[in-house]
A and B are shown apart, each in its own frame.
Chain A
């Protein structure tokens, strides 16, 4: 209530030197690293693409043209919408959702296995072995998938050996490699929230349900999954956000005709040389992720602190 008194108490509690350290470090972080850059990017996305000399000049006015471009396309575009970019945008979200569901389906049984089936040292080993792929550089992970899914790669070799296919399948063009690679990259982020949630479930509850004659799938549906909901929400949110925001894997594993939304942003910056437009697209990405997180928080009634851990 009384700011002056709060500040006095703060310094009384921490002393001058430490108090200043806390205030300066946190202010620097929040203002200079987090808030101001985001705000400036937002502002910048409304400005015209001008050479540095003209910035601040009379032509430097706010404009909606970049957002308009995102929705309507260039002035020459005859279609009602910027079909290409919008398609990429929604396809990215859809693909990220697909990757999320894939990871959830893959990780839920494993998390349950780790928490309630595996024992002692073996369980530890499983946990530890999960960490190892995670710490391998994401570029290298994508590289590994490119080796595997290449036309002369192990998968094709195996399929041909089995006689399932005669010709190598172009997994890269079909985006199989991309989805597999993205799913792989975020396994850990799905599995640990799930594991933490499932693990805290009292084994007796499962046994009680089993005792009452419930089949195993109903136990999961009625007991384990409702209990693990915060973990599921957290894992899904993280995986979705990271997939939608991924750049390296789509660049390396993406098929020739499929772009990821981040790649478009990247192009506006690197080759398109239109930073304000790139910023506008980045704002679109940021806004959609914020909406997504809020939606998840609302639907599954979890707090932010439960998602980001």
Chain B
């Protein structure tokens, strides 16, 4: 009995740990969205604030990416749902000898790595464009067009799988019955098959849209000079992060929760309905269901509660966010200044004994106003130079908002420095922040590199980077 209890406890602990792993990151990320701290963090929790949501919606690049993502998602749905349906219908009637070959080919895009699909789409259409002597602004080189095609390649397979599982429950005698009663093939398709497939079309479309919306691996190659939400996000996350990304995550998590809730309710309804209908069929009692009306989804009690919670949550965050934030911020700033001063004193004390490192000097110079980094090398460099990264800025903290970071990137790709003014706030604690930035050291030397300059690099490695 005792070992049984131990087993039970360890199972509970394991399941608990699993869910901590599953939700911990999302919860922590969500919390950081409401922290006024410029770096996404949970502690110290400075002020409860929704400013990052504002930052988010005012971010033009992100919004442009979002628009493109929505457009691409729509395009992918419009292409991959009909293709997936055709693929599934074809599978149902193809002769068994060809079937396994056919299946292997159409299912392969799911197994082929996304980057490979992106690359093959890119080079193929590039070549076609060359063959037709197309202009560079023609669709052969259009990132949105290529992305739709590249994504549709594998998303069609997803939607095909959805259709296959639904079609397996389709009684093809229904089609024959319709034909037999004089319907044309198109009428049969429209009046018999499509209504049956409607739920599958819905789920295939949602699946296709979501898969498109969150795709990165294929998109990053096919998008060329355009951008989508994921590519903008990726470059943001790689080259400097702030909690507006957490804010976006909060929105997505909430929407997913909402969607999952709706899905679960729909599923329960369908199940209940099916159970009822089989019961009736068995009993042969038609009267039992007479006059029973289906409740619309939005009238489902669980749905109403879900919506209320959703709206209430939004409302509270909004109001809570506007009240008392400024006051809190001032207090936090004051506290920081005090801490910073202490630190400066400490450092000054230290520097009495030690000689200042040359790198430090560079740092303080560039931190004063314009940080300019020149990246040399055979390949382009992506250098993101966020002013707050520079140690020594504590001294120049008095005139922060005017700071401008300038990035000189040579090579084929220009680079996007992300310098939202809010990044500059609270620079006093850049020391802790600095270590959070990751530095990438070129491992190879011949290849181009992304160096994210942080104070450590500047101190000791500013020379190394150039010579790499």
Contacts and interface: CB of A to CB of B under 8 A. Distances in A.
A32 B145 CA distance: 14
Nearest to B264: A128
Contact of A29 (B18, B21, B119, B156): B156
Interface residues of chain B: helix, strand, loop or mixed (majority):
helix
Contacts of B28: 144, 147-148, 154
B248 A140 contact: yes
B185 A14 contact: yes
Interface string A13-24: 111111101100
A248 B214 CA distance: 11
A34 B103 CA distance: 13
Contact of B413 (A133, A146, A237, A271): A271
Contacts of B447: 267, 271-272
B436 A151 contact: yes
A252 interface: yes
Q: How large is the interface on A (under 10, 10 to 19, 20 to 34, 35 or more residues)?
A: 35 or more
A232 to B, nearest CB: 17
A201 B43 CA distance: 46
Given A37-B120, A168-B435, A267-B448, A17 B185 contact: yes
B111 A40 contact: no
Nearest to A188: B22
Contacts of B433: 152
A55 B130 contact: yes
A249 to B, nearest CB: 9
Interface in B180-204: 184-186, 189
Interface in B65-88: 82-83, 85-87
B25 interface: yes
B111 A289 contact: yes
Contacts of B11: 109, 113, 117
Nearest to A157: B43
Interface residues of B, number: 109
Interface stretch (B48-56, B237-245, B333-341, B358-366): B237-245
Given A137-B230, A245-B114, A252-B237, A282 B86 contact: no
A64 interface: no
Given A26-B87, A130-B22, A137 B115 contact: no
Interface string B145-185: 00001001100110001000000000000000000000011
A256 B441 contact: yes
Contact of B260 (A132, A157, A286): A132
Contact of B123 (A14, A44, A113): A44
Nearest to B230: A139
A148 B25 contact: yes
B119 A269 contact: yes
B381 to A, nearest CB: 8
Contacts of A21: 82, 86
Interface of A: 6, 10, 13-19, 21-22, 25-26, 28-30, 32-38, 40-41, 44, 52, 55-56, 74, 84, 106, 109-110, 113, 117, 124, 128-133, 135-148, 150-154, 157, 168, 170, 172-173, 184, 187, 216, 237, 241-242, 244-248, 251-252, 255-257, 259, 262, 265-267, 269-273, 275, 278-279, 282, 285-286, 289, 293, 304-305, 307-309
Given A135-B259, A143-B237, A257-B443, 17 more contacts: A37-B153, A44-B123, A44-B127, A84-B444, A129-B19, A132-B253, A132-B257, A137-B249, A138-B216, A138-B230, A147-B32, A151-B435, A252-B234, A255-B438, A267-B379, A275-B126, A308-B157
